[in-house]
Amino acid sequence: MENVHILTQRVSGRGDFLPFSAEYARVNEITETHDLVNKLQTSLVIEDVLAIYAKFVKQILNFSGLQFQSTLGTTQTSDSDTNTTPYIFDLSIDKEHLGQLIYFSQYQLNTAIEKKLRGLHSVLVYPLRNAMMYSRVLKLATKDALTGLNNRSQFNDFLSQKLENCRRYQRPFSLMLLDLDNFKQVNDNYGHKVGDDMLREFSKVLANSIRGTDSVFRFGGDEFALLIEDPEFTTNKVIAERIMCLVRKSPLMSKYKVTTSIGYTLASSQDCDNAIFARADKGLYKAKASGRNCAKAY
């Protein structure tokens, strides 16, 4: 039999020998992991971080879906099929639990694959935590802390986008402004705790009165706004009646005799932000002048 010679090299610091091909694979794996680290650091959006990670892991595991569940909600890759077997991993940094990373696959994970995935998780957790922190900060900047509704800053962005769509695609919409009748007296006489409870209750009323295509905002104090997909005034009237009905049925609002006044207007393609807001505000003024607890168009 002819002699077969296998080229080997000494692995520094370990005292043993590996075939050149095995050492090359190890170096290549380290290089790819470094590339993954760099790519994961290019975004502070949770969806993007998960998508980058999923693309890399596809080379290791044939999975049908990838999902991340945390206190911020559930995020999953765009093409996820979650009908296969879930394999759940807890992600933590020190004692901070970030959430659960769930792989969906029709193939069983063996010990070697699990070990490799856990190693990659140590690469994923830091960019993922940064993205979660950014998401929380962004939420604080765009959400009202008391009610959880979109705030005035978000309203300005949404209104500008609605007006652009109205001009470009002829998609009309309505702006509705609302405030609470008798709220200041309740706040002064019964304290801010009751006032805060009242604002949260009214926020729920508004959220339960609109459709998925509509948006609700709190400006501050007892001032609220709705942006409504509406080709005419019909939808405004239905939503306004629904809001006033729920306010009447609310035990808390009925107890303190708090009602709502509403003003609304229909946008046109010639409108600017200030023009449509001024008209809705005039509608609200008309409602106040008409005895409150009513809705008026302008």
Q: What is the pLDDT of residue 11?
A: 41
Residue 183 lies in a domain: yes
Strand bridging mode 259-266 / 223-229: unpaired
Q: What is the pLDDT of residue 6?
A: 37
Residue 8 lies in a domain: no
With 50 as the cut, is the pLDDT of residue 83 above it? yes
Same structural domain, 166 and 292: yes
Q: What is the pLDDT of residue 141?
A: 80
Same structural domain, 42 and 93: yes
Number of Cβ within 10 Å of residue 192's Cβ equals 10
Domain harbouring 235, CATH code = 3.30.70.270
Spatial separation of the C-alpha atoms in residues 154 and 150, rounded to whole Å: 6
Structure tokens at 163: 């007006």
With 50 as the cut, is the pLDDT of residue 184 above it? yes
Nearest to 102 by CA among 135, 74, 131, 130: 74
Same structural domain, 215 and 163: yes
Same structural domain, 163 and 276: yes
Same structural domain, 104 and 46: yes
Determine the average pLDDT of the residues in 174-182: 96
**209-260: per-residue pLDDT in tens?**
999 899 999 998 999 999 998 877 788 899 999 999 999 999 999 999 999 9
Q: Tokens 């609700």 label which residue?
A: 216
Q: What is the pLDDT of residue 26?
A: 53
Same structural domain, 159 and 291: yes
Q: What is the pLDDT of residue 28?
A: 62
Nearest to 41 by CA among 53, 29, 55, 57: 53
Residue 123 lies in a domain: yes
Final residue belonging to a domain, choices 88, 123, 142: 142
How far, in Å, are 20, 116, 117 from residue 112 at the CA level?
22, 6, 9
Residue 1 lies in a domain: no
Same structural domain, 163 and 268: yes
Final residue belonging to a domain, choices 83, 113, 142: 142
What confidence category does residue 31 fall into, taking pLDDT thresholds of 50, 70 and 90?
confident
Widest distance between CA atoms in the chain: 108
**Most confident listed range (68-72, 75-79, 178-182):** 178-182
Final residue belonging to a domain, choices 108, 142, 176: 142
Spatial separation of the C-alpha atoms in residues 169 and 268, rounded to whole Å: 12
Same structural domain, 168 and 266: yes
Residue 29 lies in a domain: no
Residue 54 lies in a domain: yes
In 35-127, beta strands by DSSP E: 65-70, 73-76, 85-93, 96-105
Same structural domain, 173 and 104: no
Tell me what the pLDDT averaged over the chain comes to: 88
pTM to 2 decimals? 0.62
How far, in Å, are 155, 184, 275, 284 from residue 198 at the CA level?
22, 11, 31, 20
Residue 275 lies in a domain: yes
Residue 4 lies in a domain: no
Q: What's the number of domains the chain is made of?
A: 2
Domain assignment of residue 161, given as a range: 152-297
**132-175: per-residue pLDDT in tens?**
999 888 777 888 989 999 999 899 999 999 999 888 888 889 99
- Phi, psi values for residue 108, rounded to 5°: -75, 140
What confidence category does residue 64 fall into, taking pLDDT thresholds of 50, 70 and 90?
very high
Domain harbouring 107, CATH code = 3.30.450.40
